[in-house]
Amino acid sequence: MHIRRPSPPRPRPRPHGARTAGVVLALAALVATACTSGGSTSSASPAAAALAALPQSTPDALAPYYGQKLRWRSCGVPGFECATLKAPLDYAAPDRGDVRLAVSRKKATGPGSRLGSLLVNPGGPGGSAVGYLQAYAGIGYPAGVRARYDMVAVDPRGVARSEPVECLDGPDMDTYTQTDITPDEASETTALVEAYKKFAEGCGEDSPKLLRHVSTVEAARDMDILRAVLGDERLNYVGASYGTFLGATYAGLFPKRVGRLVLDGAMDPSLSARRLNLDQTAGFETAFRAFARDCVQQQDCPLGSKADKIGPNLKAFFDRLDRRPIPTGGVDGRRLGESLATIGVIAAMYDEGAWAQLREALTSAMEDSDGAGLLVLADSYYERDADGRYSNLMFANAAVNCLDLPAAFTGPDQVEDALSAFEKASPVFGEGLAWASLNCAYWPVAATGEPHRIEAKGAAPIVVVGTTRDPATPYRWARSLAAQLSSARLLTYEGDGHTAYGRGSACIDRTINTYLLNGTPPPDKKRCS
């Protein structure tokens, strides 16, 4: 579920939205962010175990990793350095090989005394933290923060520059993303299942060993090695979307090593996969209704003039595309069907600044049978370039999600039984999001995690940020995570879009900057607009 991507209007890449409840096949991988536990639609039992902290002392077998020296070199990006961090492939057997992780930093610029390193992660799972640092955080974070922190990022194992998981080539991914995710008959259900199986088999063939060791717990342990190698006693961190799950996991494992942690667009680790996907489905519906209310006030709204008709009109359009896809004008001959159109709309829900772009794209598609605009949004979400190459975002997303928690559904029959609940949560997106939650059922590696609470007893104050109309990480998740973490301070942004820091709220930015620079957390339950 975690993360995003239609060319946002702001000069920064958005955090990878909790690509949990994705909507299309590959999005199904996204949906995996919430690929938490299978079975019931209820949350984990209140008696579910909390994530246990690791011993304070470093095991002898890990000493070489904690004692390594990074060899910094030029990245080719002005002002940034890069290095390679080694971590054990398997923490249970550190002598069985390493995984090499890409690290980048931009040193504190001054003035003011250096506060240490500030690690950033944009979410996903599968988003490149190094790319995010070099494209935005290292140059776009507030000058005061960049002046006093070394800005640092590490691509988690299996992601981007850190031994990336690969599954399908470009043409096969094109086929995958166009597979019908609202099957109307048995043959279409079979085709969908076969698409999930081919995707999973591709991942298993390419990375058989790594695929067993890309969990969030392992990535959090990697961050502790990086903290030590950088010379920091405590970890200072800003994580967005899935990055909040990663940061909270670190806090649970190493509560005494928590410095200043900001968890923006929070996930709830205590929920089952099905519950997470159902919640996210409702979150997209909430965001879409906000879009609908805005759309009817614009002169170029192609979906009608009454807010309560916007959803049915869009669903009817999706149904037409399901029967007859429309051209996109591209040299690759791809046509816009329901799956890609749905992703295009979903992508625009991450940022209200993209709503005008969505209206224009829908107008072209609905009035002129030109699907190019919606395809641009979908390709941006999938990180597909003009040459038909995909980043490894979707592959890493599924790999992490399907390992972290058991599948939401084990087969088509379970999806069909849950359809009414998903369609109730979102009449527009529910059916597609339910079927997108099936992808982990065919994963070649068994899940190693379960839903759990994270308490991080003894940790320094942690700021948990929630946006009231966040489509990808519903606000209730922020409230739940804040209630679990023993030292959390809940900071609420009353607004639209995915995540809050750096999105235009002076109140949010001032509050977080004060915490990062002075160590002063906000009062619990502070609200901003």
Active site residue 380: no
Amino acid identity of residue 50, one-letter, is: A
Q: With beta carbons less than 8 A apart as the criterion, state whether 192 and 184 touch.
A: no
Q: With beta carbons less than 8 A apart as the criterion, state whether 409 and 38 touch.
A: yes
Rounded to 5 degrees, what angle do the CA atoms 177, 182, 185 make? 120
Interatomic CA distance for residues 484 and 44, integer angstroms: 13
Sheet strands side by side (includes 149-154): 73-74, 81-88, 98-106, 149-154, 116-121, 235-240, 258-264, 462-469, 488-496, 526-528
Inter-residue contact 203 to 194 (CB < 8 Å): no
What residue type is 466 in one-letter code? G
Q: How far is CA 431 from CA 42, 183, 320, in A?
A: 19, 9, 15
Q: Please state, as a whole number, how many other Cβ atoms lie within 10 Å of the Cβ of residue 191.
A: 13
Catalytic residue among 174, 232, 470, 496: 470
Q: Which of 43, 117, 215, 241 does the annotation list as catalytic? A: 241
Catalytic residue among 150, 426, 498, 505: 498
User: CA nearest 309: which of 296, 299, 318?
Assistant: 296
Closest CA to 75 of 50, 104, 111: 104
The tokens for 464 are 């948990």
Note the maximum CA span of the chain. Answer: 67
Contact (Cβ atoms closer than 8 angstroms) between residue 450 and residue 216: no
User: What letters, b where the CB count within 10 A reaches 16 and e where it falls short, cover 359-373?
Assistant: bebbbbbbeeebbbb
241 is catalytic: yes
| Catalytic residue flag (residue 498) | yes
- In the block, which residue shows the tokens 């949560």? 425
Active site residues per annotation: 241, 470, 498
